Structure 1
Amino acid sequence: MKYGLCVAVSVLCLAGCNKGPTVELKNASGNQVSNAVTRSGVMTSGSMIEPGLWQSKVTVLEMNVPGMPPQYAEKMKQSMAEHRNEGRKHCVTEADVKKPKEDFFGADKSCRYGHFTMGGGKIDIQMVCREENMTQTTNMAGTYTPTSYSMDMSSNGSGPQNGMTMKMHIDAQRVGECTGKDD
């Protein structure tokens, strides 16, 4: 009986660890997402990313650009293979974490979020951008901790270029403090 009670209490405590602020929106602008994230406290909950110097590595898994001459496509694939293991550093400030700007999540005024779900260490986003006679749909899903994140992303375009597609994976981790020199 005591063992069963201990297991039940442990499960409830672990379930409680995954609770916390979340944001769930559909058909929202970048500004609406930014405001909802700020109001929810998800960015300042202690489970969101820490400010500091972050290094990210992007691995392009697939890229298809219909109509691109084969020699350019081959050069692009070769360049991606050569730079596969290179990381890029960027600074995430305390202000970025406490009050994200409208473009913090990558949306500009031509874009809307089909859905935006964030909280409990998980993120799932669909963003649709429309300009003139082109539409680009981007899906992102992954996990995050205060010091790392991992995300899969796919993007499909339609319009005059007739269907560019891309799939990539992003891994990032906090590598130190921002210095102003290397960020």
Structure 2
Amino acid sequence: MKHITIIAAAGAMLLAGCSGGTADADGDGEITAKEVADKSKAEGIKPEPGLYKSTITMTELDVPGMPAEMKGHGAGQVITTEDCLTQEEVDKGFEELMKQGQNGECSYETFNLNGGKLDAVMVCKSPEGSARMTMSGTTSATSSEFTAESKMNFEGMGEATLKFTGKHERIGDCKAK
């Protein structure tokens, strides 16, 4: 599993702002990034542009075939990044922001963000396999905190599980280039 996928998925939650209810506009049982973006846009919800610090902490890793002595390996690993969200990126809409960095084709089974409380399930399919990530937490236009569990099926190996926490916070304005 790629760290960028985890960070991008986590970042998507920060960028989601605050919206209520489920975004499955066409009623097909699958919530696409476009449906989430359209719902957010219709409600006038946008994240604040600025410099964001993202901290992802792995809390559990279970991979099929992992030697017993490696059980828990990676737990506690922290990935911290700083990324600038410009006004231009905000103006492009959530659909484009949420697509960035995803490994494969992703859609939402559920995406509920109501009163700053997040509950979502995202499924991504790639040549390496399929992954299903459940996320819950809180979010605002300038910060979010959540827990997530990702399960990925590796052909011929079985299902790996990764659990992590994420925190995103606006720490200032973007630096001039």
Q: Secondary structure at the match of 1:41?
A: coil
User: How many positions carry a matched residue from both structures?
Assistant: 152
Are 1:54 and 2:57 matched, yes or no? no
Q: Provide, for residues 73-132 of structure 1, a one-character-per-residue CA deviation record: whole Å limited to 9, x for no partner.
A: 57952xx64x53x63101112233344242423567622210111242222211112235
Q: Is the 8 A contact 1:63 1:164 kept in 2?
A: yes
| Residue 135 (structure 1) shift | 2.1
The gaps in structure 1 that reach 5 residues or longer are: 1-19, 44-48
What letter matches 2:130 in structure 1?
T
| Residue 155 (structure 1) shift | 0.4
For residues 123 and 91 of structure 1, the distance between their equivalents in structure 2, rounded to whole angstroms, comes to 23
Distance 1:133 1:57, change over 3 A: closer
Q: Return the match for 2:165 from 162, 169, 181.
A: 169
Structure with greater helix percent = 1
What letter matches 2:121 in structure 1?
Q
The within-5 A match list for 1:89-168 is 89-106=82-99, 110-131=105-126, 134-160=129-155, 161-168=157-164
Q: Secondary structure at the match of 2:166?
A: strand
Q: Provide, for residues 27-74 of structure 1, a one-character-per-residue CA deviation record: whole Å limited to 9, x for no partner.
A: 12222222222222222xxxxx32100111111000111124568x57
For residues 41 and 54 of structure 2, the distance between their equivalents in structure 1, rounded to whole angstroms, comes to 24
Distance 1:99 1:124, change over 3 A: farther
Q: Is the 8 A contact 1:38 1:98 kept in 2?
A: no
For residues 133 and 58 of structure 1, the distance between their equivalents in structure 2, rounded to whole angstroms, comes to 22
Distance 1:168 1:89, change over 3 A: same
Q: Is the 8 A contact 2:61 2:73 kept in 1?
A: no
For normalisation by structure 1, the TM-score amounts to 0.68
Identity %: 27
- Superposition CA RMSD, Å: 2.9
Q: Which has the larger radius of gyration?
A: 1
Q: Is the 8 A contact 2:119 2:135 kept in 1?
A: yes
| Residue 175 (structure 1) shift | 0.9
Distance 1:59 1:133, change over 3 A: closer
For residues 25 and 162 of structure 1, the distance between their equivalents in structure 2, rounded to whole angstroms, comes to 31
